[in-house]
Amino acid sequence: MAVAQLVNGRAEDVIFTSGGTEANNLALMGCGRSYRLVSGVEHSSVLNAGGVIIDVDENGIVDLDRLNDQLLLCEAPAIVSVMLANNETGVIEPIKDIVKLAHRHDALVHCDAVQAVGKIPVDIVNLGVDMMSISAHKIGGAAGSGALIVPGLGSGTGCMLQGFLFGGGQEHGFRVGTENLAGIAGFGAAAKEALSGLDGFAKLAGFRDAIDKAIKTTERGSVIFGADVERLPNTTCLTMPGVDSDTQVIAFDLAGIGVSAGSACSSGKTKISSVLKAMNASAEDSRCVIRISLGWNSAESDVETFIAAWCNLSSRKSTRKINLSAA
Ligand code: PLP
Protein backbone atom coordinates (compact mmCIF):
# COMPACT_ATOMS: atom_id res chain seq x y z
CA MET A 1 0.00 0.00 0.00
CA ALA A 2 2.70 2.50 1.05
CA VAL A 3 4.79 1.69 -2.03
CA ALA A 4 1.79 2.30 -4.31
CA GLN A 5 0.95 5.53 -2.46
CA LEU A 6 4.44 6.84 -3.10
CA VAL A 7 3.43 7.27 -6.76
CA ASN A 8 -0.31 7.75 -6.18
CA GLY A 9 -0.89 4.24 -7.47
CA ARG A 10 -3.06 1.35 -6.29
CA ALA A 11 -1.74 -1.56 -4.26
CA GLU A 12 -3.25 -4.15 -6.63
CA ASP A 13 -1.27 -2.67 -9.52
CA VAL A 14 2.14 -3.26 -7.93
CA ILE A 15 4.48 -6.11 -8.94
CA PHE A 16 7.36 -6.45 -6.49
CA THR A 17 10.71 -7.28 -8.07
CA SER A 18 14.34 -7.58 -6.99
CA GLY A 19 14.99 -3.93 -7.87
CA GLY A 20 14.79 -1.24 -10.52
CA THR A 21 16.84 -3.28 -12.97
CA GLU A 22 14.40 -6.18 -12.92
CA ALA A 23 11.40 -3.85 -13.07
CA ASN A 24 12.84 -2.15 -16.16
CA ASN A 25 13.59 -5.51 -17.79
CA LEU A 26 10.14 -6.87 -17.00
CA ALA A 27 8.48 -3.80 -18.52
CA LEU A 28 10.52 -3.85 -21.71
CA MET A 29 10.78 -7.59 -22.31
CA GLY A 30 7.36 -8.51 -20.98
CA CYS A 31 5.11 -6.02 -22.76
CA GLY A 32 5.04 -7.91 -26.05
CA ARG A 33 6.12 -4.92 -28.13
CA SER A 34 9.06 -5.67 -30.40
CA TYR A 35 9.62 -2.02 -31.37
CA ARG A 36 11.36 -0.37 -28.46
CA LEU A 37 12.28 3.29 -28.44
CA VAL A 38 14.47 4.30 -25.50
CA SER A 39 16.00 7.67 -24.73
CA GLY A 40 19.77 7.97 -25.00
CA VAL A 41 20.10 8.99 -21.34
CA GLU A 42 18.49 5.87 -19.85
CA HIS A 43 20.05 3.68 -17.18
CA SER A 44 21.96 0.65 -18.53
CA SER A 45 19.11 -1.66 -17.46
CA VAL A 46 16.99 0.01 -20.16
CA LEU A 47 19.69 0.83 -22.72
CA ASN A 48 21.18 -2.67 -22.67
CA ALA A 49 17.78 -4.29 -23.14
CA GLY A 50 18.08 -2.97 -26.69
CA GLY A 51 16.01 -0.65 -28.81
CA VAL A 52 16.22 2.36 -31.07
CA ILE A 53 17.69 5.40 -29.35
CA ILE A 54 15.59 8.55 -29.06
CA ASP A 55 17.83 11.63 -29.33
CA VAL A 56 18.06 14.15 -26.52
CA ASP A 57 19.14 17.79 -26.71
CA GLU A 58 22.19 19.29 -24.97
CA ASN A 59 20.23 19.48 -21.71
CA GLY A 60 19.35 15.80 -21.93
CA ILE A 61 15.68 16.40 -22.81
CA VAL A 62 13.98 14.02 -25.25
CA ASP A 63 13.50 15.50 -28.71
CA LEU A 64 9.72 15.20 -29.24
CA ASP A 65 9.82 15.90 -32.99
CA ARG A 66 12.37 13.18 -33.49
CA LEU A 67 10.32 10.81 -31.34
CA ASN A 68 7.26 11.57 -33.46
CA ASP A 69 9.24 10.73 -36.63
CA GLN A 70 10.49 7.51 -35.08
CA LEU A 71 7.00 6.47 -34.00
CA LEU A 72 5.73 7.08 -37.54
CA LEU A 73 8.36 4.66 -38.84
CA CYS A 74 7.38 1.80 -36.50
CA GLU A 75 5.55 -0.93 -38.39
CA ALA A 76 3.68 -2.07 -35.30
CA PRO A 77 2.72 -0.38 -32.01
CA ALA A 78 5.86 0.29 -30.00
CA ILE A 79 6.93 0.81 -26.43
CA VAL A 80 8.63 4.06 -25.49
CA SER A 81 10.84 4.09 -22.39
CA VAL A 82 11.92 7.41 -20.90
CA MET A 83 13.04 8.02 -17.34
CA LEU A 84 11.40 10.61 -15.13
CA ALA A 85 14.66 12.01 -13.72
CA ASN A 86 18.19 11.25 -14.77
CA ASN A 87 20.53 9.57 -12.32
CA GLU A 88 23.59 11.59 -13.36
CA THR A 89 22.29 15.07 -14.11
CA GLY A 90 18.95 15.12 -12.25
CA VAL A 91 17.27 16.41 -15.45
CA ILE A 92 13.49 15.84 -15.44
CA GLU A 93 11.92 14.64 -18.70
CA PRO A 94 8.58 15.96 -20.06
CA ILE A 95 6.84 12.63 -19.45
CA LYS A 96 3.29 13.94 -19.87
CA ASP A 97 4.11 15.28 -23.34
CA ILE A 98 5.85 12.03 -24.23
CA VAL A 99 2.78 10.04 -23.10
CA LYS A 100 0.44 12.23 -25.16
CA LEU A 101 2.58 11.79 -28.25
CA ALA A 102 3.20 8.06 -27.79
CA HIS A 103 -0.45 7.25 -27.11
CA ARG A 104 -1.44 9.04 -30.33
CA HIS A 105 0.66 6.36 -32.05
CA ASP A 106 -0.80 3.53 -29.91
CA ALA A 107 2.57 3.10 -28.24
CA LEU A 108 2.93 2.14 -24.59
CA VAL A 109 5.04 4.28 -22.28
CA HIS A 110 7.29 2.89 -19.59
CA CYS A 111 8.89 5.32 -17.17
CA ASP A 112 11.91 4.57 -14.98
CA ALA A 113 11.15 6.68 -11.90
CA VAL A 114 13.87 5.06 -9.76
CA GLN A 115 15.76 8.29 -9.32
CA ALA A 116 12.74 10.59 -9.03
CA VAL A 117 10.66 9.04 -6.23
CA GLY A 118 11.29 10.51 -2.82
CA LYS A 119 12.87 13.60 -4.37
CA ILE A 120 9.91 15.09 -6.26
CA PRO A 121 6.18 14.27 -6.12
CA VAL A 122 5.42 11.46 -8.56
CA ASP A 123 1.84 10.82 -9.67
CA ILE A 124 1.47 7.86 -12.00
CA VAL A 125 -2.16 8.77 -12.79
CA ASN A 126 -1.36 12.34 -13.71
CA LEU A 127 1.66 11.33 -15.80
CA GLY A 128 -0.46 8.77 -17.64
CA VAL A 129 2.32 6.21 -18.12
CA ASP A 130 1.49 2.55 -18.69
CA MET A 131 4.27 1.20 -16.46
CA MET A 132 6.62 2.70 -13.90
CA SER A 133 9.72 1.26 -12.21
CA ILE A 134 10.92 2.19 -8.74
CA SER A 135 13.62 0.87 -6.41
CA ALA A 136 13.82 0.64 -2.60
CA HIS A 137 17.45 1.50 -2.06
CA LYS A 138 17.09 4.91 -3.71
CA ILE A 139 14.73 6.00 -0.95
CA GLY A 140 16.49 4.50 2.04
CA GLY A 141 15.16 0.93 1.80
CA ALA A 142 17.35 -2.13 1.43
CA ALA A 143 19.01 -2.99 -1.88
CA GLY A 144 17.36 -5.93 -3.63
CA SER A 145 13.78 -4.71 -3.65
CA GLY A 146 11.89 -2.77 -6.27
CA ALA A 147 8.58 -2.63 -8.08
CA LEU A 148 6.91 -2.29 -11.44
CA ILE A 149 3.61 -0.46 -11.17
CA VAL A 150 1.12 -1.07 -13.96
CA PRO A 151 -2.05 1.03 -13.68
CA GLY A 152 -5.07 -1.23 -14.20
CA LEU A 153 -3.13 -4.44 -13.63
CA GLY A 154 -5.27 -5.50 -10.66
CA SER A 155 -8.55 -4.78 -12.45
CA GLY A 156 -7.41 -6.42 -15.68
CA THR A 157 -7.46 -3.15 -17.64
CA GLY A 158 -3.70 -2.47 -17.66
CA CYS A 159 -1.35 -3.17 -20.51
CA MET A 160 -0.58 -6.79 -21.38
CA LEU A 161 2.41 -8.21 -19.61
CA GLN A 162 4.23 -11.53 -19.67
CA GLY A 163 6.63 -12.41 -16.83
CA PHE A 164 9.88 -14.18 -17.69
CA LEU A 165 10.17 -16.51 -14.68
CA PHE A 166 8.36 -19.83 -14.36
CA GLY A 167 7.07 -21.04 -11.00
CA GLY A 168 4.17 -20.30 -8.68
CA GLY A 169 1.57 -17.55 -8.89
CA GLN A 170 3.17 -14.79 -6.84
CA GLU A 171 2.83 -11.16 -7.88
CA HIS A 172 -0.20 -11.84 -10.09
CA GLY A 173 1.93 -14.46 -11.86
CA PHE A 174 4.09 -11.74 -13.43
CA ARG A 175 7.03 -12.17 -11.08
CA VAL A 176 6.82 -15.63 -9.61
CA GLY A 177 8.94 -17.00 -6.77
CA THR A 178 8.63 -16.41 -3.06
CA GLU A 179 8.75 -12.70 -2.39
CA ASN A 180 11.51 -10.92 -0.47
CA LEU A 181 9.17 -10.08 2.41
CA ALA A 182 11.74 -8.34 4.59
CA GLY A 183 12.83 -6.19 1.65
CA ILE A 184 9.22 -5.37 0.73
CA ALA A 185 8.36 -4.45 4.34
CA GLY A 186 11.40 -2.16 4.45
CA PHE A 187 10.42 -0.70 1.06
CA GLY A 188 7.00 0.16 2.51
CA ALA A 189 8.49 1.85 5.57
CA ALA A 190 10.97 3.77 3.42
CA ALA A 191 8.17 4.84 1.05
CA LYS A 192 6.18 6.34 3.94
CA GLU A 193 9.24 8.26 5.12
CA ALA A 194 10.05 9.40 1.60
CA LEU A 195 6.53 10.72 1.06
CA SER A 196 6.54 12.69 4.29
CA GLY A 197 10.03 14.06 3.54
CA LEU A 198 9.23 15.54 0.11
CA ASP A 199 8.94 19.13 1.37
CA GLY A 200 12.39 18.86 2.94
CA PHE A 201 13.76 17.66 -0.37
CA ALA A 202 12.21 20.55 -2.31
CA LYS A 203 14.15 22.97 -0.10
CA LEU A 204 17.44 21.47 -1.29
CA ALA A 205 17.00 23.31 -4.60
CA GLY A 206 18.17 26.48 -2.84
CA PHE A 207 21.40 24.75 -1.76
CA ARG A 208 21.88 23.26 -5.22
CA ASP A 209 21.47 26.68 -6.81
CA ALA A 210 23.93 28.21 -4.34
CA ILE A 211 26.53 25.61 -5.36
CA ASP A 212 25.93 26.22 -9.07
CA LYS A 213 26.17 29.99 -8.63
CA ALA A 214 29.34 29.91 -6.53
CA ILE A 215 31.04 27.60 -9.01
CA LYS A 216 30.07 29.65 -12.05
CA THR A 217 31.34 32.77 -10.28
CA THR A 218 34.65 31.11 -9.42
CA GLU A 219 35.18 29.30 -12.70
CA ARG A 220 33.24 30.63 -15.67
CA GLY A 221 34.40 27.71 -17.78
CA SER A 222 32.65 25.16 -15.59
CA VAL A 223 29.78 23.42 -17.38
CA ILE A 224 26.66 22.62 -15.37
CA PHE A 225 24.75 19.92 -17.23
CA GLY A 226 21.00 20.51 -17.51
CA ALA A 227 21.26 23.91 -15.80
CA ASP A 228 18.68 25.39 -18.23
CA VAL A 229 15.93 22.89 -17.50
CA GLU A 230 14.04 21.43 -14.56
CA ARG A 231 16.18 19.16 -12.40
CA LEU A 232 15.85 17.20 -9.19
CA PRO A 233 16.31 19.61 -6.27
CA ASN A 234 19.27 17.74 -4.82
CA THR A 235 21.43 17.00 -7.86
CA THR A 236 23.95 18.93 -9.88
CA CYS A 237 26.45 17.58 -12.37
CA LEU A 238 29.32 19.89 -13.25
CA THR A 239 32.86 20.12 -14.54
CA MET A 240 36.07 21.43 -13.05
CA PRO A 241 37.96 22.21 -16.24
CA GLY A 242 41.39 20.60 -16.39
CA VAL A 243 40.89 18.24 -13.42
CA ASP A 244 39.74 14.73 -14.21
CA SER A 245 36.79 13.19 -12.37
CA ASP A 246 38.78 10.59 -10.44
CA THR A 247 41.21 13.21 -9.14
CA GLN A 248 38.29 15.30 -7.95
CA VAL A 249 36.59 12.34 -6.26
CA ILE A 250 39.77 11.52 -4.34
CA ALA A 251 40.51 15.13 -3.43
CA PHE A 252 36.97 15.70 -2.13
CA ASP A 253 37.13 12.42 -0.26
CA LEU A 254 40.31 13.58 1.48
CA ALA A 255 38.42 16.74 2.41
CA GLY A 256 35.67 14.57 3.93
CA ILE A 257 33.17 15.11 1.10
CA GLY A 258 31.64 12.29 -0.94
CA VAL A 259 30.97 13.11 -4.60
CA SER A 260 30.66 10.76 -7.51
CA ALA A 261 32.38 10.64 -10.88
CA GLY A 262 29.14 9.62 -12.53
CA SER A 263 26.02 7.86 -11.39
CA ALA A 264 26.35 5.78 -8.20
CA CYS A 265 25.26 2.71 -10.14
CA SER A 266 28.15 3.04 -12.55
CA SER A 267 30.80 3.94 -10.01
CA GLY A 268 33.89 1.83 -10.48
CA LYS A 269 33.58 2.18 -14.23
CA THR A 270 35.99 4.71 -15.68
CA LYS A 271 34.50 4.95 -19.15
CA ILE A 272 32.88 8.14 -20.39
CA SER A 273 29.26 8.52 -19.31
CA SER A 274 26.76 7.43 -21.95
CA VAL A 275 24.40 10.09 -20.57
CA LEU A 276 26.86 12.91 -21.30
CA LYS A 277 27.66 11.39 -24.68
CA ALA A 278 23.96 11.42 -25.55
CA MET A 279 23.87 15.09 -24.50
CA ASN A 280 26.71 15.74 -26.94
CA ALA A 281 29.11 16.83 -24.18
CA SER A 282 32.71 17.28 -25.28
CA ALA A 283 35.22 14.57 -24.38
CA GLU A 284 37.09 17.09 -22.22
CA ASP A 285 33.97 18.08 -20.23
CA SER A 286 32.99 14.43 -19.79
CA ARG A 287 36.46 13.71 -18.39
CA CYS A 288 36.21 16.44 -15.75
CA VAL A 289 32.69 15.97 -14.43
CA ILE A 290 31.40 15.11 -10.96
CA ARG A 291 27.90 14.60 -9.63
CA ILE A 292 26.93 16.20 -6.35
CA SER A 293 23.91 14.79 -4.53
CA LEU A 294 22.54 16.55 -1.49
CA GLY A 295 20.76 14.49 1.15
CA TRP A 296 17.67 15.23 3.21
CA ASN A 297 19.95 16.20 6.11
CA SER A 298 22.36 18.41 4.14
CA ALA A 299 22.85 21.74 5.89
CA GLU A 300 23.98 25.19 4.77
CA SER A 301 27.34 24.54 6.46
CA ASP A 302 27.81 21.45 4.25
CA VAL A 303 27.21 23.57 1.17
CA GLU A 304 29.74 26.15 2.37
CA THR A 305 32.29 23.40 3.08
CA PHE A 306 31.80 21.95 -0.38
CA ILE A 307 32.10 25.31 -2.14
CA ALA A 308 35.29 26.13 -0.20
CA ALA A 309 36.78 22.74 -1.08
CA TRP A 310 35.81 23.13 -4.75
CA CYS A 311 37.36 26.62 -4.96
CA ASN A 312 40.48 25.38 -3.19
CA LEU A 313 40.93 22.46 -5.58
CA SER A 314 40.17 24.58 -8.61
CA SER A 315 42.69 27.26 -7.57
CA ARG A 316 45.44 24.63 -7.35
CA LYS A 317 44.88 23.17 -10.75
CA SER A 318 47.01 25.71 -12.64
CA THR A 319 50.02 23.42 -12.31
CA ARG A 320 47.81 20.68 -13.86
CA LYS A 321 49.34 18.40 -11.21
CA ILE A 322 47.41 18.38 -8.01
CA ASN A 323 49.15 17.01 -4.98
CA LEU A 324 46.30 15.07 -3.46
CA SER A 325 47.98 14.65 -0.09
CA ALA A 326 47.71 18.41 0.36
CA ALA A 327 44.00 18.50 -0.47
N1 PLP B 1 17.23 3.15 -12.98
C2 PLP B 1 17.94 4.20 -12.53
C3 PLP B 1 17.61 5.56 -13.03
C4 PLP B 1 18.95 4.02 -11.58
O5 PLP B 1 19.64 5.07 -11.15
C6 PLP B 1 19.23 2.69 -11.13
C7 PLP B 1 20.34 2.44 -10.22
O8 PLP B 1 20.44 2.81 -9.14
C9 PLP B 1 18.43 1.64 -11.61
C10 PLP B 1 17.47 1.90 -12.56
C11 PLP B 1 18.65 0.22 -11.16
O12 PLP B 1 18.00 0.00 -9.94
P13 PLP B 1 18.46 -1.21 -9.00
O14 PLP B 1 19.80 -0.85 -8.45
O15 PLP B 1 17.40 -1.28 -7.93
O16 PLP B 1 18.50 -2.43 -9.84
Per-residue pLDDT of the chain (327 residues; tens, 9 = 90+): 999 999 999 999 999 999 999 999 999 999 999 999 999 999 999 999 999 999 999 999 999 999 999 999 999 999 999 999 999 999 999 999 999 999 999 999 999 999 999 999 999 999 999 999 999 999 999 999 999 999 999 999 989 899 999 999 999 999 999 999 999 999 999 999 999 999 999 999 999 999 999 999 999 999 999 999 999 999 999 999 999 999 999 999 999 999 999 644 454 555 789 999 999 999 999 999 999 999 989 999 999 999 999 999 999 876 555 555 443
**Under 8 Å CB-to-CB from 318, ≥6 apart: which residues?**
none
The residue whose C-alpha atom lies closest to atom 9 belonging to ligand 1 is: 20
Nearest to 20 by CA among 152, 169, 153, 131: 131
Of ligand 1's atoms, which has the minimum distance to the CA of residue 42?
3
What is the whole-number distance in angstroms between the Cα of residue 294 and the centre of ligand 1? 18
pLDDT confidence of residue 7: 98
CA of 49 to the centre of ligand 1 (A): 14
**pLDDT of 270:** 56
pLDDT for res 321: 53
Tell me whether residue 31 is one of the annotated catalytic residues: no
Q: For a pocket test of ligand 1, which of 120, 132, 138, 180 has the largest count of ligand atoms closer than 8 A to its C-beta?
A: 138
pLDDT at position 264 is 46
Which atom of ligand 1 is found nearest the CA of 136? Answer: 15
Query: Of the candidates 233, 290, 3, which has an alpha carbon nearest to the alpha carbon of residue 119?
Result: 233
Site to substitute for ligand 1 among 24, 135, 180, most atoms within 8 A of C-beta: 135
**How close is the Cα of 44 to the center of ligand 1, in Å?**
9
Closest ligand 1 atom, CA of 83? 3
Query: What's the length of the chain?
Result: 327
| Residues contacting 150, CB < 8 A, separation 6+ | 13, 15, 130, 131, 158, 159, 161
- Laid out side by side, the sheet with 108-112 consists of 14-17, 146-149, 131-135, 108-112, 78-81, 35-39, 52-54
Identify which of 17, 38, 87, 293 to mutate to test ligand 1's pocket (most ligand atoms within 8 A of the CB). 87
Q: Is residue 302 within 8 Å of 221, Cβ to Cβ?
A: no
Cα(25) to centroid(ligand 1), Å: 11
The 10 Å CB-count burial string (b at 16+, else e) for 152-164 is ebbeeebbebebe
74, 265, 288, 311: which one is catalytic?
A: 265
**What residue type is assigned to position 41 of the chain?**
V
Residues with CB under 6 A from ligand 1: 19-21, 24, 43, 45, 83, 87, 112, 114-115, 135, 137, 146, 263, 265
* 3-class DSSP assignment, residue 68: helix
**Whether the model pTM is above 0.75:** yes
**Ligand 1 center–CA 20 separation, angstroms:** 5
Ligand 1 centroid to residue 324 C-alpha, Å: 32
Atom of ligand 1 nearest to the CA of 146: 15
C-alpha angle 273-93-297 in degrees, rounded to nearest 5: 75
